[in-house]
């Protein structure tokens, strides 16, 4: 079953075409990798899916519903979470507070609602949010650091915290934008294991990553972009042996 369908997506910036008729289908329950050289349009693609940018042309459907014109908060509420190429945490907040913030779209909180709700209902929801945050921190391996400021975490742990916050939105699809950027081999291996665990939770993954060993090792299907266009789409073994991919990206 196709969870995310992108058809003939075009994005131009003042005459520069960043994406040119890009199409891809992400199957439910899969890890779908997107690779390509720098400037291929990968992050532009993920920014459009998540609603940060609007496409110039083309269609995006999620669970059969069009989303290409929706605001980012609406897209999150539909069930799409994301991380960023450059980590974006609330550095002054604690680790657990960062994850709790991620659950905002799934709460009934609001100024008017809270004014008319009984205190025990608010406490009940807060306890539920905190319990969920603790579970997610345990899932990503940060349960022992929940009260520390987010800024105090080492780089790799900040990456995992951002993933925990994205999972707190209760997505059925998570967009991972270069989660292994700047990591050493050990951290990259741990991130690959975490991605597989996320899929085991029933969350589909769209993975943008430069580490070819990681992408080839965990992806069910891979789409390759070059100069904003699809040049290949298939299983990892098909991509590895594609002459177009070898010339454009792999370099051998």
Taking the chain, what is the end-to-end CA distance rounded to the nearest angstrom? 35
The first and second tokens of residue 143, run together, are 């349960």
Cα gap 234→220, rounded to integer Å: 9
Question: Angle, to 10 degrees, between the axis of helix 95-102 and the axis of helix 155-167?
Answer: 30
Beta-sheet pairing, 65-66 with 57-62: antiparallel
Cα gap 154→119, rounded to integer Å: 38
Neighbours of 57 (CB within 10 A): 14
Q: What is the CATH number of domain 1-79+171-252?
A: 3.40.50.300
What pTM does this model have?
0.90
- Any idea where the domains of the chain sit in the sequence? 1-79+171-252, 95-170
The pLDDT tens digits along the chain (252 residues) read 999 999 999 999 998 999 999 999 999 999 999 998 888 999 999 999 999 999 999 999 999 999 999 999 999 999 999 999 888 898 989 999 999 998 876 666 543 344 445 555 556 777 888 999 999 999 999 999 999 999 999 999 999 999 999 999 999 999 999 999 889 999 999 999 999 999 999 999 999 988 888 999 999 999 999 999 999 999 999 998 888 888 876 554
Cα gap 252→248, rounded to integer Å: 9
What backbone torsions phi and psi does residue 76 show, to the nearest 5 degrees?
-60, -45
Cα gap 134→87, rounded to integer Å: 21
Do 91 and 149 meet the contact criterion of CB atoms below 8 Å apart?
yes
């Amino acid at each position: 079953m196709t969870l995310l369908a992108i058809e003939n997506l075009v994005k131009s910036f003042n005459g520069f075409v960043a994406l040119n008729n890009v199409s891809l289908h992400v199957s439910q329950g899969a890890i779908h990798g997107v690779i390509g050289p720098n400037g291929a349009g990968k992050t532009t693609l993920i920014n459009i899916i998540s609603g940060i940018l609007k496409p110039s042309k083309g269609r995006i459907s999620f669970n059969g519903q069009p989303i290409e014109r929706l605001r980012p908060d609406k897209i999150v509420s539909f069930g799409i979470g994301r991380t960023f190429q450059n980590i974006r945490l609330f550095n002054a907040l604690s680790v657990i507070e960062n994850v709790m913030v991620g659950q905002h779209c799934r709460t009934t909180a609001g100024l008017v609602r809270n004014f008319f709700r009984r205190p025990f209902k608010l406490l009940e929801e807060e306890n539920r949010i905190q319990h969920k945050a603790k579970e997610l921190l345990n899932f990503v391996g940060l349960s022992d650091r929940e009260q520390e400021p987010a800024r105090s975490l080492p780089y790799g742990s900040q990456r995992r915290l951002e993933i925990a916050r994205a999972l707190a939105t209760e997505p059925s699809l998570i967009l991972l934008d270069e989660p292994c950027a700047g990591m050493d081999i050990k951290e990259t291996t741990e991130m690959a294991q975490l991605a597989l665990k996320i899929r085991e939770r029933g969350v589909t993954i769209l993975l943008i990553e430069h580490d070819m060993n990681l992408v080839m090792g965990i992806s069910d299907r891979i789409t390759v972009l070059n100069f904003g266009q699809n040049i290949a789409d298939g299983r990892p073994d098909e991509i590895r042996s594609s002459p177009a991919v070898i010339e454009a990206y792999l370099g051998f």
